[in-house]
Amino acid sequence: MAEEKGSIFLDWLKAAALGIILFFLVNTFLFSSYEVEGKSMEPTLEDGDRLVVNKIGYQISDMNRFDVIVFHGGNEDYVKRVIGLPGDQIRYENDQLFINGKKYDEPYLNQYKNPLIGQKLTGDFVLSDLTGVEIVPENRLFVMGDNRLESLDSRHFGFVSIKDVVGKVEVRYWPLEKFNTKF
């Protein structure tokens, strides 16, 4: 009977160890959980929202304009929206985004656009005025927060290196009433 209890305990111990190893591997290489801090991505994401970030093979070829990503910036991780990909020319004029001369809608900004206030949400700029270059360099991204008046982003700190991208935000799982997979 004692051998049987020892065998059951050993089986449980092995299962627990395997579970811990699998959790570590999934969290390190496949998916991570992040908490949003601050107001820079409002109204899309709010302070305290919890996110699942896909880290599986998210490379430059997988990146799409307007993806919401997490990236390393100094001692912190940031959540921002990809606006410019390598080779893109970017300009804002009268709160309208133009990439490579083509006008793009940004429906995620509609809540903050208020013509009665008369203040521009993003402000006019041409990429070369901000960075000294006319196009987004190779292996770099131009990112911005959705709350343009409150966001510290590529307009301030420059381009984000592809190697600093942790992954793409796939799911907001907290708060539960805001569970979402569309950003």
Q: Which residues are catalytic?
A: 40, 80
**From residue 136, how far is each of 130, 159, 160 by CA, in Å?**
11, 8, 10
Contact yes or no for 91/121 (Cβ under 8 A): no
> In the sheet where 50-54 sits, what is the strand order?
31-35, 50-54, 165-174, 68-73, 76-84, 140-144, 160-161
> What are the phi and psi torsion angles at 92 (to 5°)?
-120, 135
Distance CA 133, CA 37 (A): 31
